[in-house]
Amino acid sequence: MSNVCPSSPEALLTRQASAPVNLLGLTCEQLEAYVQGLGEKAFRGRQLFKWVHQLGATEFQAMTSLAKGLREQLVGLAELRELPILRDHQSADGTRKWLLDAGQGNAIETVYIPEDDRGTLCVSSQAGCTVACGFCSTGHQGFARNLTAAEIIGQVRMANRLLDPSGRRAAVSNVVFMGMGEPLLNYEAVLSAVRILLDDNAYGLSRRKVTVSTSGVVPFIERLAAECPVALAVSLHAPNDALRNRLVPLNKKYPLAELLAACRVYLQSGPRDFITFEYVMLHGVNDSLQHARELIELIAKAKLHCKLNLIPFNPFPASGYRRSSPENVKQFAQALQAAGIVTTVRKTRGDDIDAACGQLAGDIQDRTLIRMRRIDVGSSPSALGSQAL
């Protein structure tokens, strides 16, 4: 097995002899190294980077500031390939969802959520997910593979192009890694994608406008803090380990004490002075006032500045869960707010096209046999939670 980094200049040049290199996933520094390997000066890489991302070029011959010889070389060696669109759905509330072909029978989903002051794109980082939370439609699909940085960035390029064909403005002002998959279990590709999103020669987003969501992969929370801190959202969903073990099986490996300690470390370098905790509201499971009191105690003990985002559960077939009543959600939120915790209730968007939180499923050829294990253990939420990893 080669020990050459897959994104190193040596690896990129080696790949030229076989499959074209998809330039969408290369950072500016990697593109500079790439063109130098072709005998060009580094600044040509920066020009190419701007054409790819700022100007959204779809073919090399259109990049008129590049030397003709370099353009001709690139036609044979490289590509600008986004995942093909299988379906394009638009919700009554303006939310838009694309189903993208990830190859070998797999499909992923990308969702655009327009607001008065911003346009948020929810991108996928994996075809499926191995974390297998029982209340998440993606988790029920199983896992096929990680997406490449090019496939992640391609979702942003595609959305900007389709939402504003004129190219005069970038429709996407915020990017959240809250689509299909656990971003931190595809760390290197997500890190490259984040760096491209932040680059002023590409999308120029601020660190506050890029959010990575995680179910709690502690070692990579710490790495992201050290290498490229952006806004962090943590899928909490329970106030104690016993319940979280059932709802988020990853908690068995990284329990709440370790997770909250990693969050404290993250705040030291993160762009915001708080962590966002996501908490899906499940009827009769985690939505009682006792759960709210436990959550208040947990946060107070952790001495962690945070915001709580309560998410009404979006049902899907075979989940085994029900949505909390509006009254329960209201009482839960009021208890947290009375304790001084900033709390919001997420407005459900795009549920008429299955684009709401927890509904993204795509079409996954499961390589982890998660579905089969669920069949073996039965369909109850408690059984699913204990067998998912």
pLDDT higher for 48 or 380?
48
Q: What is the CA radius of gyration of the chain?
A: 22
Q: Where are the domains of the chain?
A: 9-79, 85-387
The residues pairing with 127 across neighbouring beta strands, listed in sequence order, are 145
Instruction: Detail the DSSP E strand segments found in the chain.
Output: 21-22, 78-79, 85-90, 96-103, 106-114, 119-122, 126-128, 143-146, 174-177, 210-214, 231-235, 275-281, 306-312, 342-345
Q: Residue 263: which H helix or E strand, with range? A: helix 256-267
User: Which residue in the list 109, 151, 182, 278 is annotated as catalytic?
Assistant: 109
Rank 5-14, 98-107, 377-386 by mean pLDDT and report only the highest. 98-107
Q: Is 109 a catalytic residue?
A: yes
Dihedral pair phi/psi, residue 258, rounded to 5°: -70, -40
- Give tens-digit pLDDT for 255-268: 999 999 999 999 99
CATH hierarchy code of domain 9-79:
1.10.150.530
Instruction: Identify the pLDDT of residue 177.
Output: 98
Q: Is 122 a catalytic residue?
A: no
Share of the chain above pLDDT 70, in %: 85
Q: Residue 382: which H helix or E strand, with range? A: helix 381-387
- Give tens-digit pLDDT for 87-119: 999 988 889 999 999 999 999 999 999 998 999
Question: DSSP character for 323?
Answer: B
Average pLDDT over every residue of 242-266: 97
Instruction: Identify the pLDDT of residue 7.
Output: 55
Contact between 75 and 85 (Cβ < 8 Å): no
Instruction: Identify the pLDDT of residue 346.
Output: 85
Instruction: Identify the pLDDT of residue 369.
Output: 53
Average pLDDT over every residue of 377-387: 30
Cα separation of 195 and 229, whole Å?
10
Superfamily of domain 85-387: Aldolase class I (3.20.20.70)
